[in-house]
Structure 1
Amino acid sequence: MRVFKEEQRFTQWWLIAIFTIVILGILLNFFSYEKPLQQFSTFSIVSKTIGIIIGVGIFLVKMHTRIDKSGIEVWFSPFRFTRKSFTWKELEKAHTRKYKPVTEYGGWGIRGLSKPKAYNVKGNKGIQLKTRKGRYFLIGTQQPDNVDRVIRRYFNNSEQ
């Protein structure tokens, strides 16, 4: 049995630069006062702390993709609620394609609160899925050739 697994992280240089500047700005603002805990309100301190945690946390998030004989599964760790699974029987179409992350989905991450939906981290290549119910879902990948081989193997064998 062939199993395809891929893990991706947010490692774009421009994203790292933005979050580094934001975190440094927050820290510089906070420590520029002689007694920062007395100068800021509780809300301000909490919001700055949350900003730093989110800024650092974004680099700890990983997108996992698994393709095997049962279907395709994707999720962002450590967030269990992001898990999406598609069995081969519920898919009408599955193939890789080039896409435009910003214009088609509004960027990277968990995208498309309505239709269509996408999970992507970087790049412009993905696995395009269409369910038998007519729903579309795109999963970003950095290994489109390997994904194509695995999809051809399982998807074509499951069609009946």
Structure 2
Amino acid sequence: MTNRIILYREKQRFRQFWLWVVVLAVASIFWTGFVYQVLLGGSYGNRPVSDVQLAVLFVLVGLGLPYFFYRMSLTTEVQPGEVRVRFWPFHIKPVKIPLHLVRDYERVTYNPIVDYGGWGIKWGSEGKAFNMSGSEGVKLYFYNEKPLLIGTQQPEELMSAINEAKRGKSDVEA
């Protein structure tokens, strides 16, 4: 295994306040039900489930959903000759984008909802996008496929790292 130089690394998490309000509101329904029915002995809802079923739902949705969104992350790395993007937990290994396949790239400001349908791993009329929050990114244009947008909180740093990675590609390969 060879050690590679990392020119740029960014790890993003969901930061949208409204998203956390929705996630915690859904989870709080299960917290309320668990406390009221399992701990206090009442019946939660018109057709209550058993205590065991409610405990399982509490663990999966009341605890698991917020934890899942908290741990979800987008990691972008630029190394000589390639860009790696990993949207955890959906990518076990990073998606490797060889820079020799990229014909052009630019810094863009975009509308995540209109252009791609939101945040995450998205496909739209503009191509594919990996984004976590915000509305800035770097769009990669390929020779024979649709563009790829990589959302970032540091578009200038990502652009300069890609510039350096494209220049230094021949020095690293042997």
Shorter-chain TM-score: which interval? 0.7 to 0.9
Q: Please state whether the residue corresponding to 1:50 is helix, strand or coil.
A: helix
- Contact 2:133 2:151 survives alignment (8 Å): yes
Give 2:121's aligned amino acid.
Answer: I
- Return the structure number with greater strand share: 1
Aligned counterpart, 1:8: 12
Match of 1:20 among 14, 20, 24: 24
CA distance, structure 1, for counterparts of residue 43 and residue 84 of structure 2: 46
Structure 2 distance, partners of 1:114, 1:98, is 16
CA 1:17–1:148: 2 relative to 1, 3 Å: same
Q: CA RMSD in A?
A: 2.9
Gaps of 5+ in 2: 170-174
Q: What CA distance in whole angstroms lies between the structure 2 residues aligned with 1:143 and 1:111?
A: 20
**3-state SS of 2:71 partner:** coil
TM-score (normalised: structure 2): 0.76
Partners in 1 of 2:113 and 2:26 — Cα distance?
Answer: 22
Q: Percent identity?
A: 25
Out of 18, 35, 40, the position equivalent to 2:49 is: 40
**What's the counterpart of residue 99 of structure 2?**
88
CA spacing shift, 1:50–1:2, aligned 2, 3 Å: closer
Q: How many residues get paired?
A: 159
Matched position secondary structure for 1:30: helix
| Contact kept in structure 2, 1:64 and 1:76, CA below 8 Å | yes
8 Å contact kept, 2:127–2:146: yes
Gaps of 5+ in 1: none
